[in-house]
Chains A and B, each alone.
Chain A
Amino acid sequence: MRYLPLSGADREIMLGRIGVSAVDALFADAPPECLRDQAPDLPRRKGEMAVERALGRLAARNVSAGSVPFFLGAGAYRHHVPATVDHLIQRSEFLTSYTPYQPEIAQGTLQYLFEFQTQVAALTGMEVANASMYDGSTACAEAVLMAQRITRRKRAVLSGGLHPHYADVTHTVCGFAGDSITSLPPDVAASEDIISQIGPDTSCVVVQSPDVFGNLRDLAPIAEAAHRAGALLVAVVTEAVSFGLLTSPGAQGADIVVAEGQSIGNALNFGGPYVGLFAARSKFVRQMPGRLCGATVDAEGRRGFVLTLSAREQHIRRDKATSNICTNSGLCCLAFTIHMTLLGGHGLRQLARINHANAVALADRLAALPGVSVLNRSFFNEFTVKLAGRDAAEVVERLAACGVLGGVPVSRLLPGAGLDDLLLVASTEVNTDEDRAALADALAAVLGEIAAC
Chain B
Amino acid sequence: MLNRQGRPTIAAGDAPVVASAAEHHTFTGNRALQQIEPLLFEIGSTERCGVDLDEPAPFTARLGALEAAAPVDLPALSEPETMRHFVRLSQKNYGIDTGMFPLGSCTMKHNPRLNERMARLPGFADVHPLQPVATVQGALAVMDQLAHWLLTLTGMPAVALSPKAGAHGELLGLMAIKAAIAASGEGATRNVVLVPESAHGTNPATAALLGFRVKSVPAREDGAVHLDDVAGLLGPDVAAIMLTNPNTCGLFEPQIVEIAAALHAAGGYFYCDGANFNAIVGKVRPGDLGVDAMHINLHKTFSTPHGGGGPGAGPVVLSERLAPFAPVPFVRRGADGQFALVEQAGEGDAAQAFGRLTAFHGQMGMYVRALSFMLSHGGEGLRQASEDAVLSANYVRASLADLLTTPFGDRPCMHEALFDDAWLKDTGVTTLDIAKALIDEGFHPMTVYFPLVVHGAMLIEPTESESKVSLDLFIAAMRDLAMAVKRGDVERFTGAPRHAPLRRLDETRAARQPVLRWTRPQPVA
Complex: how many Å from CA A255 to CA B348? 40
| CB of B32 to closest CB in A, whole Å | 17
| CB of B398 to closest CB in A, whole Å | 5
**Given A62-B137, A108-B91 in contact, is the A171-B500 Cβ separation under 8 Å?**
no
Query: Is B9 interfacial (CB-CB < 8 Å)?
Result: no
Complex: how many Å from CA A84 to CA B83? 7
Query: Is B158 interfacial (CB-CB < 8 Å)?
Result: no
Q: Which of A99, A128, A298, A316 contacts B308 (CB 8 A)?
A: A99
Query: Is A207 interfacial (CB-CB < 8 Å)?
Result: no
Q: Assess whether A51 is in contact with B44, with CB atoms less than 8 Å apart.
A: no
Q: Assess whether A247 is in contact with B68, with CB atoms less than 8 Å apart.
A: yes
* Residues on B with beta carbons closer than 8 Å to the beta carbon of A243: 72
Q: Assess whether A344 is in contact with B101, with CB atoms less than 8 Å apart.
A: no
Complex: how many Å from CA A121 to CA B72? 10
Query: Is A66 interfacial (CB-CB < 8 Å)?
Result: yes
* Residues on B with beta carbons closer than 8 Å to the beta carbon of A347: 49-51, 53, 76
* Residues on A with beta carbons closer than 8 Å to the beta carbon of B77: 341-342, 344
* Residues on B with beta carbons closer than 8 Å to the beta carbon of A298: 502-506
**Beta-carbon contacts under 8 Å, A189-241 to B:** 209, 216, 218
Q: Assess whether A285 is in contact with B95, with CB atoms less than 8 Å apart.
A: no
Complex: how many Å from CA A342 to CA B350? 44
Q: Which of B75, B123, B355, B360 contacts A62 (CB 8 A)?
A: B123
**Given A56-B121, A298-B503 in contact, is the A129-B93 Cβ separation under 8 Å?**
no
**Given A109-B309, A304-B505, A360-B59 in contact, is the A319-B134 Cβ separation under 8 Å?**
no
Q: Which of A5, A56, A119, A324 contacts B170 (CB 8 A)?
A: A324
Q: Assess whether B111 is in contact with A343, with CB atoms less than 8 Å apart.
A: no
Q: Assess whether A377 is in contact with B257, with CB atoms less than 8 Å apart.
A: no
The interface stretch among B12-20, B197-205, B264-272, B418-426 is: B197-205
Q: Assess whether B359 is in contact with A163, with CB atoms less than 8 Å apart.
A: yes
Complex: how many Å from CA A65 to CA B125? 9
| CB of A368 to closest CB in B, whole Å | 15
What does the 1/0 interface line of B503-521 toward A look like (CB < 8 Å)? Answer: 1111101110011111000
* Residues on B with beta carbons closer than 8 Å to the beta carbon of A268: 125-129
* Residues on A with beta carbons closer than 8 Å to the beta carbon of B310: 132, 134, 273, 327-333
Task: Bin the interface of chain A by size.
Answer: 35 or more
Complex: how many Å from CA A244 to CA B49? 14
Query: Is B481 interfacial (CB-CB < 8 Å)?
Result: no
* Residues on A with beta carbons closer than 8 Å to the beta carbon of B405: none
* Residues on A with beta carbons closer than 8 Å to the beta carbon of B135: 62-63, 400, 405
Complex: how many Å from CA A106 to CA B178? 39
Complex: how many Å from CA A334 to CA B435? 27
**Given A121-B517, A331-B308 in contact, is the A341-B50 Cβ separation under 8 Å?**
yes
The interface stretch among B225-233, B372-380, B482-490 is: B372-380
Query: Is A28 interfacial (CB-CB < 8 Å)?
Result: yes
| CB of B422 to closest CB in A, whole Å | 22
Query: Is A169 interfacial (CB-CB < 8 Å)?
Result: yes
Query: Is A297 interfacial (CB-CB < 8 Å)?
Result: yes
Query: Is B352 interfacial (CB-CB < 8 Å)?
Result: no
Query: Is B217 interfacial (CB-CB < 8 Å)?
Result: no
Q: Which of A58, A345, A361 contacts B72 (CB 8 A)?
A: A345
Q: Assess whether A108 is in contact with B93, with CB atoms less than 8 Å apart.
A: yes
| CB of B137 to closest CB in A, whole Å | 5
Q: Which of B128, B313, B517 contacts A76 (CB 8 A)?
A: B128
**Given A14-B395, A51-B114, A318-B201 in contact, is the A4-B384 Cβ separation under 8 Å?**
yes
Query: Is B327 interfacial (CB-CB < 8 Å)?
Result: yes
Q: Which of B60, B205, B398, B511 contacts A321 (CB 8 A)?
A: B205
Query: Is A365 interfacial (CB-CB < 8 Å)?
Result: no
* Residues on A with beta carbons closer than 8 Å to the beta carbon of B50: 82, 84, 341-344, 347
Complex: how many Å from CA A292 to CA B59? 41
Q: Assess whether A40 is in contact with B127, with CB atoms less than 8 Å apart.
A: no
Complex: how many Å from CA A117 to CA B119? 27
| CB of A385 to closest CB in B, whole Å | 14
Complex: how many Å from CA A413 to CA B170? 26
Q: Which of A272, A293, A315, A325 contacts B362 (CB 8 A)?
A: A272
What does the 1/0 interface line of B244-259 toward A look like (CB < 8 Å)? Answer: 0000000111101100
Complex: how many Å from CA A397 to CA B289? 46
Q: Assess whether B515 is in contact with A93, with CB atoms less than 8 Å apart.
A: no
Q: A28-B412, A119-B74, A248-B72 are in contact. List 16 more A-B contacts (CB 8 A).
A: A27-B284, A27-B390, A47-B376, A88-B90, A96-B305, A166-B359, A269-B119, A305-B505, A313-B201, A314-B202, A315-B200, A327-B167, A330-B308, A331-B310, A405-B128, A412-B130
Q: Assess whether B467 is in contact with A5, with CB atoms less than 8 Å apart.
A: yes
* Residues on B with beta carbons closer than 8 Å to the beta carbon of A451: none
Residue of B106, B131, B371, B383 with most partner-chain A CB within 10 A: B131
Smallest Cβ-Cβ distance to A171: which chain B residue: B355
Query: Is A386 interfacial (CB-CB < 8 Å)?
Result: no
Q: Assess whether A177 is in contact with B136, with CB atoms less than 8 Å apart.
A: no
* Residues on A with beta carbons closer than 8 Å to the beta carbon of B504: 104, 298-299
**Given A93-B98, A108-B91, A396-B132 in contact, is the A98-B358 Cβ separation under 8 Å?**
no
* Residues on A with beta carbons closer than 8 Å to the beta carbon of B374: 42
Q: Which of B68, B167, B387, B510 contacts A295 (CB 8 A)?
A: B510
**Beta-carbon contacts under 8 Å, A374-420 to B:** 376-380, 396-397, 400, 405, 408, 412-413, 415
Query: Is B206 interfacial (CB-CB < 8 Å)?
Result: yes
Query: Is B66 interfacial (CB-CB < 8 Å)?
Result: yes
Q: Assess whether B500 is in contact with A137, with CB atoms less than 8 Å apart.
A: no
